[in-house]
Amino acid sequence: MLKMTFLSALSIIYLLGVANARFTVVRRRDPAPGVQMQAKLLPPAEFSVPFTGKTPRRKAKNDAFAAVRRWSPATCTDTAIVDAANFNFKNDYLTDVTIGGQNFSLLIDTGSSDTYVVQKGFNCSDAQGDPLPQASCQFGTAGFDTEASKTFKPFPNVIYHNIFGDGNTLTGPVGFDTVTIGGLAVTQEIAVPTLAVHTGDNISSGILGLAFPRLTNVFNTTDIANISDANRLVYDPFFLSAVKEKRVKNPFFSVALDRGTFEQEASNTFIPNSGFLSFGGIAPVPVLDTCVTVPIQGYDANSAPSNSPNAEFRFYTVDIDSYAFPGSTGLITANNNTILDTGTAFNIVPQDVAAAYAAAFNPPGVLTLVPNSTLSGFAVDCNAEAPEFLVTIGGKTFSIDPRDQIVPFGNNGTIICATGTQGPSILTNAPNSLFILGDVFLHNVVATFNPIAGEITLTQRAKY
């Protein structure tokens, strides 16, 4: 999961060495520049499950900052202080998952690989290790009861340990059990943490990760002090296990994220019925003819995203041909390290591109400092007119509905808005180090992933 305390957790990709996954994924070279790729014909999905809701990602990721400053369009100088805990840059999409016959709401994440559900009787603590009541960790249930499951099998002498970018830390045993989602049942390696430093949403009890094996976090030791990349036990995440077990005819999973209304987004609460997660084909929503299939970028050891045939897959990273909007002429908008992430609310593009796009709003957006930090983002009048924004990938151009480009946040009766397309300055002090196409883009396309062939097919959604 690309979790952040406004700071990028993606530095992990520079810390990980090369390891061979037990499942084979094929690395393909990008086509020559200027060559338009053809879309793969996608079958209908064999299994589909609705996202039961969308909820702002847990408060812990925002607690590092006390407030954000809002530019007032009325005077261009007035400000209002808004609790940063309500200025969420991340969203969690939830769906119902059954593990060992027990039902849970899990976060679905294309930016992480492990499947975990907190174990019944877990110990909750703060960041200093001091014990807290279980309720303080804000999981949605009391946890997974390994003894009540007739199919759970422990994986001895190993440990799951994951420190997320928002400060949450999960540690505990590992085992195998039947994981069922949308009718798709897979015997899967899962983590069942017993130790949690965690601030949740009071709905979800864990995560189902859909990224690549290299991002799994199980280690061949039982002592946290001894974990290292050298004893990391890379394993197949849920969907690769489904393919390996021949549970799906075609190696695709597909995501269609629905936007909420302005009022729902501004209320900063749980939003039900937020789209589909599908397996074996394309998600069941109306689409247009605009579509393209592009290769996923891999990562060399200690490097940024790479087109090298020796690179390995970690995230769903693609090349961007260009971004186009009023005022974009003359800007270099192409880049080759952009991650498709279901858990990021915004698009994160090169800083000069974000600035030029904010300037094209009517009235223009304004770069706004986050108090007590060097981070900044573009604030905009909630009633502003959002300009067109086009994304070209693999020679095909996709449009973004202007409704997605004004992102509201609410706090104590105050509504503020940010541009839907931001620069890296909103997340990190390292300029142009992290680019993401998040919900703002994904509300407008169906993203269908083929992790076996190393490809993504993007299909423009019909207007809704």
Average pLDDT taken over every residue of the chain: 82
Q: 99 CB contacts (<8 Å, ≥6 apart)?
A: 117, 144, 149, 177, 178, 179, 180, 190
Among residues 195, 205, 202, the alpha carbon closest in space to that of 124 is found at 195
H helical segments located in 331-437: 351-359
Give mean pLDDT, residues 380-392: 97
CA distance 234 to 379: 42
Phi, psi values for residue 114, rounded to 5°: -75, 150
| Per-residue model confidence (pLDDT) at position 104 | 98
CA angle 192, 193, 196 (to 5 degrees): 155
On the 0-12 / 13-18 / 19+ scale of CB atoms within 10 A, 261 is exposed
Pairing assessment for the beta strands 195-197 and 275-279 based on DSSP bridges:
unpaired
Residue with tokens 């997605």: 404
CA angle 342, 345, 350 (to 5 degrees): 100
Q: What is the pTM of this model?
A: 0.82
CA distance 124 to 198: 7
H helical segments located in 259-305: 262-267
Most trustworthy range by pLDDT among 65-74, 266-275, 366-375: 366-375
Q: What amino acid positions are annotated as catalytic residues?
A: 109, 341
50 sits in which H/E element: strand 47-50
pLDDT exceeds 90 at position 287: yes
CA distance 139 to 122: 11
Please state which of the ranges 210-214, 291-295, 426-430 shows the lowest mean pLDDT.
426-430
CA angle 8, 10, 15 (to 5 degrees): 130
CA distance 412 to 410: 7
Cβ pair 110, 210 in contact under 8 A? yes
For 305-358, the pLDDT digits (tens) are 666 666 788 889 999 999 999 999 999 998 878 999 887 889 999 999 999 999
265 confidence band (pLDDT: 50, 70, 90): confident
Q: Which of the pair, 273 or 421, is modelled with greater confidence? A: 421
Please state which of the ranges 65-69, 136-140, 179-183, 331-335 shows the lowest mean pLDDT.
65-69
Percentages helix, strand, coil for the chain (3-state, rounded to 5) are 15, 40, 50
Q: What percent of the chain has pLDDT over 90?
A: 63
Residue with tokens 């060399």: 300
For 202-239, the pLDDT digits (tens) are 999 999 999 999 999 999 999 999 999 999 999 999 99
264 confidence band (pLDDT: 50, 70, 90): confident
Give mean pLDDT, residues 243-256: 97
Among residues 359, 298, 283, 333, the alpha carbon closest in space to that of 437 is found at 333
Q: Which of the pair, 172 or 2, is modelled with greater confidence? A: 172
Cβ pair 90, 343 in contact under 8 A? yes
Beta-bridge partner residues of 367: 378
Beta-bridge partner residues of 436: 339, 348
| Per-residue model confidence (pLDDT) at position 399 | 99
Please give the DSSP secondary-structure letter assigned to residue 148: T
Strand ranges for 164-202 from DSSP E: 169-172, 174-181, 184-191, 195-197
Tell me the domains of the chain and their CATH numbers: 9-24+46-253 (2.40.70.10), 286-461 (2.40.70.10)
pLDDT exceeds 90 at position 181: yes
